[in-house]
Structure 1
Amino acid sequence: MNLKELSEKLGLSQTTVSRALNGYPEVREATRQKVLEAAKAHNYAPNTRAKTLATGRAMTIGHVLPVSKKHEMVNPIFADFIAGAGEIYSDNGYDLLLSVVDDEKEEASYRKLVSRGAVDGVIVHGPKVNDRRIALLQELGVPFVVHGRSSDVAADYSWVDVNNTRAFERATTFLLDLGHRRIALLNGLADMDFATRRGAGYVAALESRGVPVTPELMFHEEMTEHYGYETCKAALAMAMPPTAFVVSSIIPAIGIRRAIAEAGLQMGRDVSVVIHDDALSYFSNDGDVPAFTAVRSSVREAGRRVAQGLISMIQGAGDGVHQEMLEAALTVGQSTGPAPALREVLQQEG
């Protein structure tokens, strides 16, 4: 079915139907819903080229990913984010343009995308503290939403972020309530903004209980399984090893579990582990009793929220700035238990 046939079925002009399908604000909401329902019922899909000509838009969202020897953004977390964002793109007739570039070519890539009119908007991934990309995109005048936030940026900009500080304060407090005092933090790279906020939550929880902050128990690196394994192995060999770990992702936590088992210890009994970012398609932590205690936040849902916020901005809905804070929920699994000393006291009392 083409636009003319759909218009005739609805008894509306082709212009009205086209504007309703493309989100123009002057179309009455009742008319828009009528058109959308009819389009769905008759499997109508507008021609992409015709839609581009009609709207003056590229109907494309840009993602620029810097890849360096130090940090690789293309990972399972990114895949889940794109899966969520892709659902929203598909529902709204947008395509995705992915540019993977060297770090030093990132700024030029943004400038090229905008000057060519190749994208209607951009999603920014992996913001760093005082991220320069925000000022650049504001200078270029292209709509954008940041997945995360950037500390020390005074300008008002659009973002969707999880409350990292509160999530890690809650995770650390949970371990403190179990009697743990030697708690290690396995965080992401130190210049990433999420890692700064998660570290602040960890420190705040310790300080609120009068527990000394021990720098030797705070680790920063790219979040791989190998990082989790090697770091946990070294930590357990300390003269005073940690009895618990707070971990920035399920991926390094899998390495931690391996190191604990190799040391002849049992996770949840001898060493406790709380993780973040456990709701990933290929690293599931589901089950009646999850393997890991976690502060859960769906990356796929974040992708949906970021994409929807950006499309709303492109279509002129709202006040032009989209900011949304997501909260993480604590789910207790098999990876946590009382600190060994507290367990002994409880057993004696029992």
Structure 2
Amino acid sequence: MELSSSLAAVLHSPLFLLAALLLLLVFTLLSFSSAKKPGDGGGRRLPLPPSPRGVPFLGHLPLLGSLPHRKLRSMAEAHGPVMLLWFGRVPTVVASSAAAAQEAMRARDAAFASRARMRMAERLIYGRDMVFAPYGEFWRQARRVSVLHLLSPRRIASFRGVREQDVAALLDRVRRRCCRVIADHRERRRLSQPDGGDGDGDGDENVDHRDFVDVLLDVSEVEEGAGAGEVLLFDTVAIKAIILDMIAAATDTTFTTLEWAMAELINHPPVMRKLQCEIRAAVGVPGASGGAEDFRFVPFGAGRRGCPGAGFAAPSIELALTNLLYHFDWELPPHADGAAAATAARLDMGELFGLSMRMKTTLNLVAKPCDMHA
């Protein structure tokens, strides 16, 4: 009894707890220092990119803050366009210049085409999707089926009628809100039709109009019946993961891009007026097209892992944005006290970091219909 009480007193003493914590700290430091570093192979140590000073155990994670992209830019200004960061015990090379990005995504894209295994991806999207799949046969087959049956130029052209009807419905909603009139029945008729309208597109009657899910199911059945030696790449879980990729990658990103574009135009009124004049002068003129400026950005990535939906997203955003600028003039709403609309300086251009970079404050604008025949 006395021995047990003495042992309990020792275990609960502050000195014992402090000693246990020190031993745990020493053990963790030893295990961390003995971990294999990049370039350790028993031979000559490879040169590594410059790396900022980090925090023990956590590496550079605490330094990124709530807006990692801005912090990475400031770190690149101090340490160069290519730097090594540690996210915990995971080494990560960050490329922050056009030349470095071209080297990684173009010249050496095969070396960077794969993806590390992530528990989050396995839990949320079954580990069988196309975005997080490692570079291999499954990824190649999933991308080939997606491009061939949904995102090929011919397929995208066949969706032209659907895109135009969706933009017309958007314009109707904006016009109803700003004019406060009873809307016509075009939206109701469109929603009542199973195919969303005539959807003639470019007039190609030979286009296969099957649903993309049906295409994936057919591919799965073909693979399954190919023979005992064949590997079934598209099971039910893979089909669900690929469909989730399509929905997640194409919905929020398009809306976010339109919101940022309108915010930037409101912030630069001369640019908006110039763009509206160009659009309104070109609409209705056969063969008219503006000279595109060369912006060296890669919003859809590049190389083997570039976004396969780039050809679908670009015309969708362009069609919506040009119609909004063609049919309406835009300005900021007045103050709550009834004062006139202020300058664009009071427009909050802050962002929220995430899978898609949304605006911190929802964009609210006043639309005024523009009568082109006046």
| TM-score, length of structure 2 as denominator length | 0.22
Counting strand residues as a fraction of each chain, which structure ranks higher? 1
Higher relative contact order (CA 8 A, sep 6+): 1
Counting helix residues as a fraction of each chain, which structure ranks higher? 2
Q: Greater Rg, structure 1 or structure 2? A: 2
| TM-score, length of structure 1 as denominator length | 0.23
